[in-house]
Amino acid sequence: MTSFLSFIAFAYLLFSAQAAEPVRVFLFAGQSNMEGADTDPKLVSDFPPYRTVFEPLEDVRYSYQTGANHKSDGWTGLKPVANNFGPEITFARAFRRQSKAPLALIKDAWGGTTLVNDWAPDGGDEKSKKLYQRFITHVRARLAELEREGLNYRIEGLMWHQGENDMFNAEGKQLYEKNLRNFIANVRKDLSVPKLKVYIGEISTKGVWGMDNRANVTLIRNAQMAVVESDPKAFFVPTSHLSFKVGRPFGLHYHFGTLGQLQHGEAYAKASLPQPVERRKKILMPKAKKVKLIVLGGQRNMEGEEAWLADIKDTPLSTPQAALFQYNLGKVTTSTGWQYLSPVNHLKDFGPELSFGQKMIPKMAKDEVLAIYKFTDSGSQSPDWLPEGSNEPYRDRYQDWITGIKKCRDDLIKQGYQCEISAVFWHCGENDRALNWMADKYADRFETFMNATRKDLDRPYLTWILTEQPMLPASITGDQKLYDLNADLEALDARDSNLKFVKTSDLPHKPVLFGTKGIIALGERMAEAWEGTRLK
């Protein structure tokens, strides 16, 4: 009788396990930007949207091998490892917001490693770190533990971020497409998941490697895109719009850093998890006869990196304003039509358009309304905005820039408004000034871009207002002498009567980013500059 009851209990437990929702398993692999190099959990409190990311999550298993020395003993709770963390932290939270299903994350990463050697399924050469076999062995061991617990599981996807070191390897960068295909095929075969989804993270163009190794980055990206375009279960994950660490100790870096890694995990979640459709209410177009169309463009600070929506909650800036608004933010977030001027839910930040609009709306005549079109790409450089394009066509922005402005203008005219493109506001390149051999060409490239825009919009005297990106202080640059492109822009201002160069070094700012207070002040300074220009 006892044995019969034991059998019934075992059968019940087995049936319950089989009937339960399967454990969703996600794999994370790659090199330093998957490992989480140059992150610091203590800095997370500086970023309002992420202050709770290390709070425990229910029913989340985590297993890791990072670098040479860090390895979990079976499953553990989700946490930083050796004072670093990667995209798994915010990915797990994004998953939990959508599903109560049990979640398991398996991560294997080692900085400075190559696909041509360290991650090669055949083991690479004698100096290889043999990471492919380490990864497969790691995953199989954790899956076996789930099976021993009587749990069903489903491997949902592999998140892969790697390629920076292959681009410096003469053989690796030429064979990257072939090697990536081979890697994916072997993972699917060795884990018996022939339809495994693979999410390939972009090498960011916002880091120093994306800036001074443009050709190499493009070579790897083209190889990744070739795989994505031919493999229906492979997906490209954009990252160049995400925050990136500043300082080497000056200039740009080659790691996402703390904030970038928090956003990195959300990028994988956006690519791999169902996303809610954001629906905006249809607005009533104003009855005014005239529209003054203002164009805002640039990189990091015009977008509003680290200017947090949480900091303006319950203030007038957080509510819709009586101006029209459209935007294109680095190809990843684009408006679908006119809306009231209000915050965009993009990386939980905002740009100077909000305080600019707040200052300018009351100054509109009774029969006119303000319209703002904002076009930014925070991972771009000056060559990307040239009308003839660059040697890396996928980074080119000029044609999209012109097309977007014309579309806004023509749509307003079609709706019966008298539409005047009144001014273009541009924030001087944060990314170009980190490299002297880019900074010394900035003013010439900007002039070419500005005049081409005037020509293509048939507005030869179109007003441009260029706001200053403050120079890095000596405490940051040390002995490094940075090229002073501000002097070049002041000279351009002197010879172009329709250009106004506006100093902003007195506004609140960190070495590169203005932050919440600085961005609000920047928008107000822009409004003051436009008023001064209009009154001339």
Output the CA torsion 261→96→189→197 (10° steps). -70
pLDDT at site 9:
47
Distance of alpha carbon 382 from alpha carbon 396, whole angstroms = 10
Residue 92 carries which DSSP code? H
Domain that holds residue 438: 290-534
**In a 10 Å sphere around its CB, with 0-12 CB exposed, 13-18 middle and 19+ buried, how is residue 194 labelled?**
exposed
pLDDT at site 435:
86
Cβ within 8 Å of residue 335, ≥6 positions away: 325, 326, 327, 328, 344
Dihedral of alpha carbons 456, 459, 461, 467, sign: negative
Distance of alpha carbon 18 from alpha carbon 152, whole angstroms = 6
Is residue 344 located within the same domain as residue 469? yes
Domain assignment of residue 278, yes or no: no
**For the chain, what is the domain count?**
2
**Count of CB atoms situated within 10 Å of the CB of 518:** 22
Is residue 248 located within the same domain as residue 184? yes
Distance of alpha carbon 40 from alpha carbon 258, whole angstroms = 6
Cβ within 8 Å of residue 290, ≥6 positions away: 365, 367, 368, 369, 417, 418, 419, 420
The CATH number given to whatever domain includes residue 145 is: 3.40.50.1110
Q: Pairing relation of β-strands 290-298 and 368-376?
A: parallel
Estimate to the nearest angstrom the gap between the alpha carbon of 148 and the chain centroid. 40
Domain assignment of residue 515, yes or no: yes
Residue 231 to residues 180, 223, 226, Cα–Cα distance (Å): 11, 12, 9
pLDDT truncated to tens, each residue of the chain (536 aa)?
555 444 454 444 444 444 589 999 999 999 999 999 999 999 999 999 999 999 999 999 999 999 999 999 999 999 999 999 999 999 999 999 999 999 999 999 999 999 999 999 999 999 999 999 999 999 999 999 999 999 999 999 999 999 999 999 999 999 999 999 999 999 999 999 999 999 999 999 998 899 999 999 999 999 999 999 999 999 999 999 999 998 765 667 889 999 999 999 999 999 999 988 877 778 999 999 999 999 999 999 999 999 999 999 999 999 999 999 999 998 899 999 999 999 998 999 999 999 999 999 999 999 999 999 999 999 999 999 999 999 999 999 999 999 999 999 999 999 999 999 999 999 999 999 888 899 999 999 999 999 999 999 999 999 999 999 998 776 666 667 889 899 999 999 999 999 999 999 999 998 899 999 999 999 999 999 998 776 44
Of 211, 240, 272, the last residue of a domain is: 272
Domain assignment of residue 248, yes or no: yes
Is residue 83 located within the same domain as residue 117? yes
Distance of alpha carbon 334 from alpha carbon 354, whole angstroms = 17
Specify the pTM: 0.94
Estimate to the nearest angstrom the gap between the alpha carbon of 316 and the chain centroid. 27
**Count of CB atoms situated within 10 Å of the CB of 287:** 7
CB 491 within 8 A of CB 505: no
Chain length of the chain: 536
Is residue 261 located within the same domain as residue 313? no
CB 13 within 8 A of CB 230: no
Retrieve residue 78's tokens. Answer: 């989700």
Domain assignment of residue 419, yes or no: yes
Is residue 264 located within the same domain as residue 385? no
Distance of alpha carbon 460 from alpha carbon 374, whole angstroms = 21
Of 227, 225, 266, nearest to 243 (Cα)? 266
Estimate to the nearest angstrom the gap between the alpha carbon of 456 and the chain centroid. 30
Of 272, 300, 324, the last residue of a domain is: 272
Helix (H, G, I), strand (E, B) or coil at 499: strand
Q: What amino acid is encoded at 172 in this protein?
A: G
Is residue 211 located within the same domain as residue 266? yes
Helix (H, G, I), strand (E, B) or coil at 333: strand
Domain assignment of residue 281, yes or no: no
Of 219, 109, 206, nearest to 160 (Cα)? 109
Is residue 199 located within the same domain as residue 261? yes
Domain assignment of residue 299, yes or no: yes
The residues with which 235 forms a beta bridge, in sequence order, are 199
Is residue 49 located within the same domain as residue 78? yes
Is residue 240 located within the same domain as residue 323? no
Q: Which H, E and C letters describe 441-486, residue by residue?
A: HHHHHHHHHHHHHHHHCCCCCCEEEEECCCCCCHHHHCCCCCCCHH
Is residue 202 located within the same domain as residue 344? no
Domain assignment of residue 3, yes or no: no
Is residue 405 located within the same domain as residue 502? yes
Retrieve residue 523's tokens. Answer: 């928008």
Distance of alpha carbon 260 from alpha carbon 244, whole angstroms = 5
Longest dimension (CA), the chain: 100
Retrieve residue 507's tokens. Answer: 């506004």
Is residue 223 located within the same domain as residue 300? no
CB 305 within 8 A of CB 246: no
pLDDT at site 434:
81
Domain assignment of residue 282, yes or no: no
CB 231 within 8 A of CB 184: yes
pLDDT at site 534:
61
Q: What amino acid is encoded at 360 in this protein?
A: M
Distance of alpha carbon 272 from alpha carbon 27, whole angstroms = 12
Of 272, 306, 337, the last residue of a domain is: 272
Of 214, 66, 238, 230, nearest to 135 (Cα)? 66
CB 444 within 8 A of CB 451: no
